[in-house]
Structure 1
Amino acid sequence: MKDKTIDYVLRATWQAVSRMYNEEASKYGATMATGFALLSIDRENGTPSTALGPRMGMEATSLTRTLKSMEEKGLIYRKPNPDDGRGVLIYLTDFGKEKRELSKNTVLKFNETVKQNVTPEKLLHFMEVAEIINELIQDKNIFNQPEKIENEKIY
């Protein structure tokens, strides 16, 4: 682990998590993106379609495909947004709410398993480091800094 770069560890870990969720979701004829969308849609009040992309970190074209697939499977339905005549609200069907609970339980199981195997202190440090990385990226403080690269072995 010591010779691996931070971005390598993040990417490899996320790919493993993504693969794990997709394997689990495939048992139910779904994908990780579908599960994430189910969890991102407000259970009772629906969610504006324009808010889903940023909430999920998905590009519009990927989100459109995911929502189309979810609608075809009877997980969601769309209604015009009464507050914005051009917008659409996405609602969960009863079937979608059932599948949302399944997705929620899957995420909670993952979290619980990690918590059983990682000390609270290490988990807190992990969250703090992730937050710092996100802030550095959001504030554009990675590539807008003076060059200071040490001779570090990459991968």
Structure 2
Amino acid sequence: MKDKTIDYILRATWQAVSRMYNEEASKYGATMSTGFALLSIDKDKGTPSTSLGPKMGMEATSLTRTLKSMEEKGLIIRKKNPEDGRGVLIYLTEFGKEKRELSKNTVLKFNESVKQTISEEKLQHFIEVAETINELIQDKNIFNHANVIDMTELSEHTEKE
């Protein structure tokens, strides 16, 4: 992957992972989003619908479609939050709990395959790099004014070479 930007590598890798999960999920009439939602909902206490989107990194409209589909398939039920009458808790049905186990096993199988192929040291470096990239983004340290100036100087320096 020489000469490819970091964001390209991340995007291409995530698209491949997403495609792989969607292909596997389609065997069971599901999607990767459904599997991820199943894993994100607390199987015993339920999960407030308002916290599910941020937990999954999904926009509200996409989450609404996913939850509607899951409800139609009998994977989840919605109940009023007894502590906050305005809120809704999402609970897994027994069928949803079965499918959650399937999703969990799929994720664990992927993780195990990666761990068998990549050394522990390389995997640890990958995790550290990913965490650092996330921190840079969360702390808004990518496009702040000082870094923009540095990038301009770097670009000018590169052009001179």
The answer as to 2:152 corresponding to 1:147 is no
Which letter does structure 2 place at the counterpart of 1:60?
Answer: A
Structure-1 separation of matches of 2:148 and 2:99: 49
- TM-score w.r.t. length of structure 1: 0.96
CA RMSD of aligned residues (A): 1.0
Structure 1, gaps ≥5 residues long: none
Deviations 1:20-41 (A, max 9, x none): 0000000000000000000000
2:19 alignment counterpart: 19
**Alpha-carbon distance in structure 2 between the residues aligned to 1:54 and 1:147:** 33
Q: Residue 73 of structure 2 aligns to which amino acid in structure 1?
A: K
Aligned residues: 152
Structure of larger gyration radius = 2
Q: Deviations over 1:66-95 (max 9, x none)?
A: 000000000000000011111000000000
Tell me, yes or no, if structure 1 residue 87 matches structure 2 residue 90.
Answer: no
CA distance in 2, matches of 1:32, 1:24: 8
- The alignment's TM-score, normalised by the length of structure 2, stands at 0.92
1:4-153 matches, cutoff 5 A: 4-144=4-144, 145-149=147-151, 150=154
Instruction: Decide which structure has greater helix share.
Output: 2
The whole-number CA distance in structure 2 between the counterparts of 1:13 and 1:28 is 24
Q: Could you report, residue by residue, the CA deviation over 1:122-154 in whole angstroms, capped at 9, with x for unpaired residues?
A: 0000000000000000010000024233457xx
Tell me: higher relative CO, structure 1 or 2? Use CA pairs within 8 A at least 6 residues apart. 1
Quote the residue 2:2 is aligned against. 2
- Where 1:61 maps in the other structure, the secondary structure is helix
Unaligned runs of 5+ in 2: none
Distance in 2 (alpha carbons) for counterparts of 1:42 and 1:130? 26
Amino acid at match of 2:85: G
**Cα distance in 2, alignment partners of residues 92 and 64 from structure 1:** 16
1:51 aligned partner, one-letter code: S
Residue identity (%): 82
